[in-house]
A and B are shown apart, each in its own frame.
Chain A
Amino acid sequence: MRFEFVQPSALQEAMQFLASHQDEAAILAGGTDILVQVKQKKRLPKYLVNIKGVSGLDGITYNGQGLRLGALTTIRTIETSPIIKEKYPVLAEAAATIGSVQVRNRGTLGGNLCNASPAADMAAPLIALGATARILGPQGERTVSMEEFFAGPGKTVLGPGEVLAEVAVPPPSPRSAGAYIKLGPRKAMDIAVVGVAAVVTLESQGDRCRDVRIALGSVAPIPLRAKKAETVLRGQVVSYDLAVTAGHKAMEEASPITDIRGSAEYRRDMVGVLTRRAVLRALEAART
């Protein structure tokens, strides 16, 4: 492992360096992905830019506008934060599935998202919650919805010099709840074979589904929002059979590949099963 270490103290400085060394520089946030990639020679950046000294990229705030998560917030902080467990339990649930305590103590939200694995466990629940990414760059600031943040395996929409600063999650609607189901051979230390997140919002009275958002991990080049599956459920009283139908729609939307963790056929089947389960689990939680 060899690289030069750059430690900017201000965001402007970091962005300028990244913009002028775009093919040679990589960002170090938690290090749990990038250092492994460098050790395995999958990435060989000339410069590693440590952004932990940059202020304003850390911390959790919650108010009437919703939740704001700094990019440097650790996965462990998301897992254990009382306000997240109360208002957005699906995020804490997803965070707890990542790696080990050791990995979660170092790994960051920004790193999990910007590494842009289709299996990134924070991506699907954030898409299902309608989160947005606040991006800062040499040309200023812009906001991108989480579902449009990913451009392909290992690729995001971040341009030269741009940095993910913060993720914003809208306030939870009354009578809404989410679920994240991760399928894998172990409950820890493994990458999802399939991950499905669903967030269901019921009408203020009764059992009709006012809104639903479903996102799929590990079954497409990017974490994918399953809009056709959502359409099956929106405005309906969701029965078991209707959840099955939504699962079938999600299977059509997925475009999984075969790799060491599972075949494309198996993954597609599991999208159906897990979409049904996630929707029914979220529905149950939204009722109470």
Chain B
Amino acid sequence: MVKQVVQLRINGEDYEVAVEPYRTLLDCIRDDIGLTGTKKGCDLGDCGACTVLVEGKSVNSCLMLAVEAQGKDVTTIEGLAQNGNLHPLQEAFIQYGAVQCGYCTPGMILSAKALLDENPHPTELEVRQAIAGNLCRCTGYVKIVEAIMAVAGTG
């Protein structure tokens, strides 16, 4: 199979990779680029562990082909901390105990970031709707919602 060269901008850095057309953006980010903060859960768009932002919008990177991301701006969890300082959402997740096993956390935080970028002062219902596509099997969601609401309150 002929590979295609794809240019991606991930967390502000430019990458050029050669991928098969059926390679998902998820596998490309994890295995070709080596950013393993983005998690592979169900690989079918159900669990949200692979959530990244493409042009600021949250997507399941397992349901997007790498070739479809040509020229696009992608944000992964590695792109949130700035100059060694964690993003306020990351700080809040730690402070509120919103992380247990941690597998859902990168996707959860990116879904929350997409929400707050669009709607800085969401209601609790809006927060819950925004993370409806991110499964967490540990926390019961309460602490996650509290952490996001805490950041929204200070926004």
Contact = CB atoms under 8 A, between A and B. Distances in A.
Contact of B59 (A3, A105, A187): A105
B33 interface: no
Main secondary structure of the interface of B (DSSP, over half): mixed
A103 B130 contact: no
Given A32-B63, A99-B133, A101-B130, A3 B48 contact: no
A40 B64 CA distance: 15
B114 A101 contact: yes
Interface string B1-39: 100100000000000000011101000000000000000
Interface in A34-63: 35-36, 38-40, 48, 50, 52
Contacts of A101: 58, 111, 114-115, 129-130, 132-133
A189 B47 CA distance: 9
B68 A102 contact: no
B67 A105 contact: no
A31 interface: yes
A192 to B, nearest CB: 16
Interface residues of B, number: 29
B75 interface: no
A39 B26 CA distance: 14
Interface in A78-111: 96, 99-103, 105-106
A52 B65 CA distance: 13
A240 interface: no
A38 B43 CA distance: 12
Contacts of B65: 5, 28, 31, 35
A1 interface: yes
Contact of A100 (B1, B43, B57, B133): B133
A10 interface: no
A237 interface: no
A188 interface: yes
Contacts of A96: 129
Contact of B44 (A2, A39, A52, A100): A39
Given A99-B133, A105-B58, A5 B67 contact: yes
A5 B63 contact: no
Contacts of A76: 57
A4 interface: yes
A186 B129 CA distance: 11
Contacts of B88: none
Interface in B43-57: 43-46, 48, 51, 57
Interface of A: 1-5, 28, 31-32, 35-36, 38-40, 48, 50, 52, 76, 96, 99-103, 105-106, 186-189
